[in-house]
Amino acid sequence: MNATPLTPTPLTPTPLTLIGLGPMGHAMATALLDKGHQVTLWNRTASRADDLVERGATLAASPEEAIAANELVILSLTDYDAMYSVLEPAAATLPGRVIVNLSSDTPKKAREAASWAAGHGAAHLTGGVLAPPHGIGKPESSTFYSGPHEAYAKHRATLEVLTGETDYRGEDPGLAALMYQLNMVIFWTSVSSYWYAIALAKANGLSAADILPYASQNMTGMPEFLSFYSARIDADNHEGDVDRLAMGLASMEHVVHTHTDSGVDAALPSAVADLFRRGMEAGHAKDSFSSIVELLGTR
């Protein structure tokens, strides 16, 4: 559950360190400089900081120098293995630091990293950014956070420079990572299904632009659809009064056949059809296809 909402604090530009200048880290550094923050940077490829240094950022010669410069240290790295590769050699500089880790990884690894940081005298805030680089600095963009409430409250105003909304999920450092991964399940599979639809369209003489209005209409209708099934799933109600898994399997088989007849890869729809068959074999033929949730939760 969400913690009690915090009253936003006025933003006084805070000096900070940002490590990692991929597209996301670069966008974050830009947004922070735009708001008047003194930003110390470190990146393995130092040249990626050239334009930021021209705007007033300071480029540290090493992770140790970057971390020692400020209490607040923001990480924008690929994963937690990358975090350890940067922070372990600089562990002596960690006491008293607040590490805001915006790297993507699992809830388990986030909890392990928080414990590791605490063992070196640092607070660890896990973050999950729900925005692409071009969304950084925008008020409608959002980031999940979890970890020490005191650290979050102290630096909330600075974090809201990165994304206008910050959703604090509580003290458990794994919760922000979990919420992020839940959203990634939806995002990557949804967009991948769109790529499959485009490939099928192109194989049949249609363009991405031709199907865009219908794809958009499909996605626009999803909130009502998800809300309907969410309430039923939480009530353990999978009755087949609205849809049946057997019907869903027949439909997905038609989708698979259309792909193969068109000479288009059918791996994704085939995987869905196989999942529906597992549900049928488990005795859910006359149940709603929402019953697949129960199947997925059984290992």
Residues of the chain with pLDDT under 50: 1-10
pLDDT value at residue 299 = 58
Query: Under CATH, which architecture does the 16-172 domain have?
Result: 3-Layer(aba) Sandwich (3.40)
Q: At how many degrees (to 10) do helices 267-281 and 174-203 cross?
A: 110
User: Order of strands across the sheet with 58-59?
Assistant: 58-59, 39-42, 16-19, 72-75, 98-101, 123-129, 142-146, 165-168
In the structure encoding, which two tokens stand for residue 276, read together?
């529906």
Domains in the chain: boundaries: 16-172, 180-296
In the structure encoding, which two tokens stand for residue 280, read together?
């049928």
Q: Say how far apart CA 117 and CA 88 lie, in whole Å.
A: 10
Going by the DSSP 8-state scheme, the letter that residue 89 receives in this structure is G
pLDDT value at residue 12 = 75
pLDDT value at residue 56 = 97
CA distances (Å), origin 199, targets 102, 250, 255, 265: 34, 22, 13, 8
Phi-psi region of 92 (alpha: psi -120 to 50; beta: other; left: phi over 0): alpha
- Count of beta carbons in the 10 Å neighbourhood of residue 88: 12
Q: Of 117, 114, 111, 127, which is closest to residue 160 (Cα–Cα)?
A: 127
CB contact set of 167 (below 8 Å; sequence gap of 6+): 2, 142, 143, 144, 145, 179
pLDDT value at residue 297 = 85
Dump pLDDT digits (tens) for 35-94: 999 999 999 999 999 999 999 999 999 999 999 999 999 999 999 999 999 999 999 999
CA 9, distance to chain mean position in Å, is 26
Query: Under CATH, which architecture does the 180-296 domain have?
Result: Orthogonal Bundle (1.10)
